[in-house]
Amino acid sequence: MTRRFAHRAWVAVLPVAAVAMVATASLVPAGSVEPVAPRAVDVVETSYACPAGSAITLAAGQLRAGQDRSVRAAKDGTIDPKLTDPSRWSTASVDAPGVIVTETGRASGPSGYFAGRAPARGGGGLVVGQCSGVIDDAWFLGAGSGDRHFSTLILTNVSSAPAVADILLWGPDGPVDAVDASGVALEPYEVRRVPLADLAAGEPALAVQVLRTRGAMAAVVNDSSTADLAGTEPIGTTRAPTRDQYVGGIVGGDRGKTLLVLNPGESTARLDVEIVAKKGTFAGTGLQDIKIEPGEYREIEVPASTGKGRQAYHLRSDRPLAASARVNANDVDYAVAEASVPLEGEAIVPIAAGSKIAIPELVLTAPGSDATVDVEAFDASMSSLGSSTVRIDGGTTAHAEAVDPQADYADDVAYVVVRASGTVIGASQYEKDDGVSSLALRAAPVKVSAPAVSRADN
Partner 1 sequence: MDEPAPVSHWLDDPPSVGAVLVSHNGAIWLPKVLGSFSRMVHAPDAWRGVDVASADGSAELVRDSFGADRVVRAPKGTGFGDAVRLGLEALPRTDWIWLLHDDSSVLPETLSGLLDTATSAPDIAIVGPKIREWPSLQRLLEVGLTVTGTGGRETGLEAGEPDAGQHDRSRTVLAVNTAGMLIRRDVWDELGGLDPQLPLHFDDIDLGWRAARAGYRTVTAPSGVLFHAEASTHGVRRTVPGDRPTWERRRAGLFVQLANAGPVRFWWQYVRLLIGSLLRVAGLLVVKDPESAGDELLAVRSVYAHPVRLLHARQRRARSARRPNRAIRELFAPAWLPYQHGLDAARAAFVSMVRPETIETVGRRSTLEQTPHDVEELDDGPPLLQRRPWLVTVIALSILSLIASRSLLAGIVDGGLSGGALLRAPDTAGGWWSLLLGADRGAGLSPDAGAPLFALPLAAAATPVWSRPDLLITAISIFAVPLAGLAAHRLGRRVSTHRGHRIVWALTYAAAVAAVGAVPQGRFGTVVALVVAPIIVNVAWQLADRPGWQTALRLGVWIALGTAFAPVVLVLSLLGLVLLWFLKGRRFGRQLVVVVGTAAVLLGPWLVQRAAVPWRWWWEAGRPVPGTESMLDIVTGRAGGLQAPWWLSVPVLVLGVLALAPRRTRSSVVVAWGLGLLALAVALLGHVMSFEATTGRTDLSPWVAVPSVLWFAALATAVLLAAPVLTNAARPIAVAALVAAVLMPVGVGGWWLARGVDGPVGPTSDLAVPAFLADRPGLTLVLTGNTADGITYRTVDGAGPYLGQEAFEPSAADSADVTEAVQHLLGRGTDSDIAALSAAGVDAIYAPDVEPELARRIDSTPRIEQSGSDQPGSRVWTLDSDPDVNDVAVPWWRRGVAGVQVVVWIVALLLTAPVRRRRRDETDDASVAGRDDPATTALPKDSEVMTS
Please report, as ranges, the residues that interact with partner 1 according to CB under 8 A.
8, 11-12, 14-15, 17-18, 21-22, 24-26, 28-39, 41, 43-47, 104, 134, 136-137, 159-162, 212-217, 445, 448-458
Cβ-Cβ contacts under 8 Å for 214 (sequence gap 6 or more): 161, 162, 163, 164, 165
CB neighbourhood size of 380 (10 A):
19
The alpha carbon of 415 is separated from its chain's Cα centroid by a whole number of angstroms, namely 18
| Residue of 219, 250, 226, 406 lying closest to 314 (CA atoms) | 250
| Residue of 336, 271, 283 lying closest to 307 (CA atoms) | 283
Shorter beta-carbon distance to partner 1: residue 160 or 267: 160
Three-class DSSP category at 173: coil
Cβ-Cβ contacts under 8 Å for 334 (sequence gap 6 or more): 125, 225, 229, 231, 233, 255, 326, 327, 328, 436
CB neighbourhood size of 47 (10 A):
22
Shorter beta-carbon distance to partner 1: residue 213 or 288: 213
Shorter beta-carbon distance to partner 1: residue 120 or 450: 450
In whole angstroms, give the CA distance from residue 423 to residue 393. 11
Which backbone phi and psi does 142 adopt, to 5 degrees? Answer: 105, 10
What one-letter code names the amino acid at 324? S
**In the bound complex, what is the minimum distance in angstroms from residue 189's beta carbon to partner 1?**
11
**In the bound complex, what is the minimum distance in angstroms from residue 154's beta carbon to partner 1?**
17
Burial of 185 (0-12, 13-18, 19+ CB in 10 A): middle
**In the bound complex, what is the minimum distance in angstroms from residue 40's beta carbon to partner 1?**
8
Shorter beta-carbon distance to partner 1: residue 1 or 453: 453
Shorter beta-carbon distance to partner 1: residue 8 or 121: 8
**In the bound complex, what is the minimum distance in angstroms from residue 390's beta carbon to partner 1?**
31
Phi-psi region of 196 (alpha: psi -120 to 50; beta: other; left: phi over 0): alpha
**In the bound complex, what is the minimum distance in angstroms from residue 193's beta carbon to partner 1?**
21
**In the bound complex, what is the minimum distance in angstroms from residue 226's beta carbon to partner 1?**
36
Cβ-Cβ contacts under 8 Å for 128 (sequence gap 6 or more): 113, 114, 115, 234, 350, 353, 357, 360, 430, 437, 438, 439
**Rounded (5°) CA angle 158-163-169:** 105
**In the bound complex, what is the minimum distance in angstroms from residue 249's beta carbon to partner 1?**
26
**In the bound complex, what is the minimum distance in angstroms from residue 184's beta carbon to partner 1?**
15
Three-class DSSP category at 339: strand
**In the bound complex, what is the minimum distance in angstroms from residue 164's beta carbon to partner 1?**
9
Shorter beta-carbon distance to partner 1: residue 41 or 407: 41
Cβ-Cβ contacts under 8 Å for 46 (sequence gap 6 or more): 102, 103, 110, 133, 445
